[in-house]
Structure 1
Amino acid sequence: MSDVSVSNINRITGPVVISKFKSQHLEDYIDIFREFESKKRKPIPSTGFVTIRLSTSLSELCKEFRETDLRELLSKSRYESKVKVLQDKLRLDSDIFNEFFEPTVREINSHVENILKESSVDGCAAILMVGGFSESSVLQKNVKSTFKQLKVIIPNEANLAVLKGAVIFGHKPTTITERICKFTYGEGSSHRYSARCNHPKGRVKKDENGDLRCYNIFDILVKAGQSVKVDEEQPEQIFTPIIDNQTNISTTVYASTSTNPQLTTEDGCKLIGTLTVPISDTSSGRNHEFGASFIFGGTEIVIKVVDKESGEMMLKSVDFLG
């Protein structure tokens, strides 16, 4: 069930009833979710009522765990004069229904305001609203009144716009030529310990060669807010094995909400996948160099690896299930 419907019904029934309702009557629980989803996408009158179909099982759970029915609980809540139970229906004053969405609308407005302050969106002339909630007259009206200086575009079937875009992109990848990174992407790396290490204190231990190494280093590849073009290669990095008889080089790829993460163990940092490059010839040991260039902007993260000894080139994709 959406946060809007859960949080407000919670206020009336209490969290125990909602929890039991979800576990014991999942189908009815989903039906209420669908009701709210359907109603929020339709024009909501400034006066009058909004009717939500309600399963009788919810009222029965109220009797079981609160020793009174839903109608009685409503009469003791702040919604007493604004919300009524009529058999299997919940009738809400339209102003109360609109009130349910106010916290979410405020958060959306605040988020858009923060985005518009970024230098990367200088000259922005329009807001394109997509997704199911974009069909809500409450949100549409609020966005238009808050951002009067911008044109607000709401396509037909806004709830399907993202899906349609994905299908179009699948048929014609060149439709999108550039993306703005939502997260900072990087790889988990390590290096020999030095008293001059300037990163925050992290994990330090001896490797197979007996050398002290710093681990969990976040090696940034692209930063959040950075523009990347489809198939554009990032600057090449050089990898070498850590031990002489190493048969592959593996690296972990992380995403972070921070623009300048330093350790992979920081808050907001998440492992998203792994990359493994085989080493067919181990005769050069730790001196065997590989050049690696990450490629962002497409539907997946790809790395171009060049064996500096043989000249062999390979493309590897991030294993998001690894």
Structure 2
Amino acid sequence: MCSELVLYYYFYISLLLFVVGGTIDITVHEILEEGALKELHKASGNNLGGQNVDRKFKEFLREIFCDGIWDEYEQNYPSEVQRMMNDFTVFKKRDKDIEVTCSLNLGKVAQKKQDIEHFLEKVQGVSYDEGSIRISKQKLRSFFEDSLWGITKSLRQILSKDFKIKYILLVGGFAESEILRIHITEEFIDNCKVLCPFRPQEVILKGAVEFGTQPHLVASRKSAFTYGVGVAERFNESIHKAEKKFTNKEGTFCDDIFMTLVKADEDVGWNETRRHILNPLESDQTRVNFTFYQTKKQKVTYVDEGGIEKIGSFVVQSPNITHGKKREIELQIKFGFTEMTATGTDKDTGLKQTIELDFMRI
């Protein structure tokens, strides 16, 4: 995803990171010693970024050049349409009247109905001037309305929580928009200060490089999902589903139990390692299967519930059956940049298997 806008909220020792790349993601961070960050609010995406403004502009053109005129032009001259949209992407950064050049081909297609200027005569805030569509500042702002309303609503929900936010820092391509910056400043001037670096889009790249070379600067993050591994446990008719019941020579068990490794929205430290000790299901079992799952739900009982996705599996060899079911298989979960590494180790023999699982995918 190519990020367009990032909005940071600082509160005394904390900040909110707001990212847009067609989507807008909001996260809240606390600033720790030596500038390290602790994520307090995980990213929450929506489609209110700069691409939404572009989409509103194209819908506007289709409404003006109605009766199939715009559709015919877009189909026959896609490169020219793209050029118009590229021009608009540049011009929309300003908070003033803009002009978007019309090609001769658009004029020719329009003339099948009427001269191109007649399409614009009754449209408020728009006029035709020597081969260009002139759009007033007020009309330009109308293309931002949905995005600004949605952004404001999301931010007010964040501000209603007990974060004590002090600063807002806008970065990314969408942050180059004067309309956006003015709106955010006017809406939140009474809550916190609004800041924007000189080249806000470059901050995205710099941040990615910094995170790649110094991942410890993000001391902890919020887990995007609940992650778990499938296990079996002794059957208890008072808590387990009857259809999950099965019997082997060791006794009666419940299958498909979701053993939680980390919960959605739980704090996870960079380079943190968590360990769990599991045992074989049968005393003469020489292969132990591990299957991993993820879900957005925080409370999960079984691996086959709705909204649960299988994300990986491996088999740990356990050939020494001397200790039967008392053998220990250590499951180690290590959290890195944007992935977690699961390692299963047979304690008797040292045999192990490892898998990397996507950790921060939204």
TM-score (norm 2): 0.65
1:147 is matched with which residue: 188, 194, 198?
188
**2:268 maps to what in 1?**
228
Cα-to-partner distance string for 1:22-69 (whole Å, 9 max, x where unaligned): 66544334333322322233x313xxx2112345555666678xx667
Distance in 2 separating the partners of 1:212 and 1:61: 73
Alignment of 1:27 with 2:27, yes or no, is no
Cα-to-partner distance string for 1:59-102 (whole Å, 9 max, x where unaligned): 666678xx6676554446xxx13122446532111101011101
SS at match of 2:205: helix
Alignment of 1:279 with 2:331, yes or no, is no
Would the alpha carbon gap of residues 104 and 285 (structure 1) be closer, same or farther in structure 2, given more than 3 Å must change? farther
Alignment of 1:303 with 2:342, yes or no, is yes
Cα-to-partner distance string for 1:105-160 (whole Å, 9 max, x where unaligned): 111121122223344xx232212212211121111112112222212221221112
Distance in 1 separating the partners of 2:292 and 2:188: 41
Cα-to-partner distance string for 1:249-286 (whole Å, 9 max, x where unaligned): 24234242x5546666777x474832424425375799
Would the alpha carbon gap of residues 98 and 249 (structure 1) be closer, same or farther in structure 2, given more than 3 Å must change? same
What is the CA distance between 1:230 and its match in structure 2? 0.6
**Percent identity between the two aligned chains:** 21
2:292 is matched with which residue: 239, 252, 268?
252
Give the number of the structure whose residues are more often strand, by fraction: 2
What is the CA distance between 1:163 and its match in structure 2? 1.6
- CA RMSD, 1 decimal: 4.2
Aligned positions, number: 302
What is the CA distance between 1:104 and its match in structure 2? 0.3
**1:44 maps to what in 2?**
95
What is the CA distance between 1:165 and its match in structure 2? 0.9
Give the number of the structure whose residues are more often helix, by fraction: 1
The amino acid of 1:279's aligned partner reads Q
- Could you say which structure has the greater relative contact order, defined with CA pairs below 8 angstroms and 6 or more residues apart? 2
Would the alpha carbon gap of residues 198 and 299 (structure 1) be closer, same or farther in structure 2, given more than 3 Å must change? same
1:97 is matched with which residue: 131, 135, 140?
140
Alignment of 1:130 with 2:181, yes or no, is no
Distance in 2 separating the partners of 1:70 and 1:153: 42
Alignment of 1:177 with 2:228, yes or no, is no
Task: Report the more deviating stretch, 136-145 or 32-41.
Answer: 32-41
Distance in 2 separating the partners of 1:51 and 1:311: 70
Instruction: Check conservation: 1:246, 1:285, Cα contact below 8 A.
Output: no
What is the CA distance between 1:290 and its match in structure 2? 2.2
What is the CA distance between 1:219 and its match in structure 2? 4.7
